Amino acid sequence: MPSDDNPDLLTQGDPAVDDTVNFRTRKWVKPEDLNANGSLFGGSLLRWIDEEAAIYAIIQLGNYRVVTKFISEIEFQASANQGDLIEMGLRATRFGRTSLTMRAVVRNMITRRKILTIEKLVFVNLGEDGRPAPHGYDSITYRRDRMPRENPATGTLTLPRR
Ligand SMILES: CCCCCCCCCCCCCCCC(=O)SCCNC(=O)CCNC(=O)[C@H](O)C(C)(C)COP(=O)(O)OP(=O)(O)OC[C@H]1O[C@@H](n2cnc3c(N)ncnc32)[C@H](O)[C@@H]1OP(=O)(O)O
């Protein structure tokens, strides 16, 4: 049931409609996102999901030093076309010692039909030495209480120079 904590959670019984993730980010499929068939290029979609998952991991683990460790099978269930509105949803499914596992779903924003599902995306929390470090969390936050902040007024952060 939709709630203040979890406003986007859906409860439809339709099996083509996913009710296990929170859909946060919307994209409008534009000409530059298309493949030679005129439908959405899978690489664009994966880039958007990886970025979305990295931000989600940062919010959940309170650390901007996170890296993608593992992505499971990717099922492209349907294509999207120019002009379609799509939305991406993620949900943490397992908090490990140093890792966070998420499930990802992309669907058409209007019809809610699934376009893609990834059962497991694993991100690893790193310490300053670049090695896996315990994150200390075991449950999802729906707030922004773990966000790493250097400047509380703006929420901005100066990333380390390489
Ligand atoms: C205001 C704030 C704004 C902030 C604003 C910031 C904006 C800025 C955003 C930047 C966001 C960057 C995020 C980009 C995301 C990339 O693009 S990252 C680039 C691609 N990824 C990489 O380069 C990673 C390369 N791999 C590695 O460096 C090493 O494998 C790692 C990740 C350090 C891990 O090393 P390792 O020796 O394998 O570690 P190990 O201790 O064996 O395992 C660590 C964890 O991974 C798990 N694991 C290991 N292998 C596997 C596997 N095959 N499958 C599943 N789990 C596994 C283990 O079970 C363990 O989990 P826990 O049991 O501790 O929970």
112 dihedral zone (left: phi>0; alpha: psi -120 to 50; beta): left
Mutate to test the pocket of ligand 1, among 69, 137, 151 (most ligand atoms within 8 A of CB): 69
Give ligand 1 pocket residues (Cβ under 6 A). 54, 58, 64, 66-70, 96-99, 122, 124, 132, 147-149, 155, 157
Q: Quote the pLDDT of residue 160.
A: 61
What's the rounded mean pLDDT across residues 25-41? 94
The phi and psi torsions of 136 (rounded to 5 degrees) equal 80, 5
Give tens-digit pLDDT for 109-135.
999 999 999 999 999 999 999 999 999
Place of tokens 């990717």: 74
| pLDDT higher at 147 or 100 | 100
Greater model confidence, 125 or 14: 125
ipTM score of complex: 0.92
Q: What is the mean pLDDT of the chain?
A: 85
- Are 149 and 113 contacting, i.e. CB atoms less than 8 angstroms apart? no
- What would the two tokens of residue 6 be? 């979890």
CA 69 to chain centre: 14
Q: What is the mean pLDDT of residues 7-31?
A: 64
Q: What are phi and psi of 75, to 5 degrees?
A: -110, 115
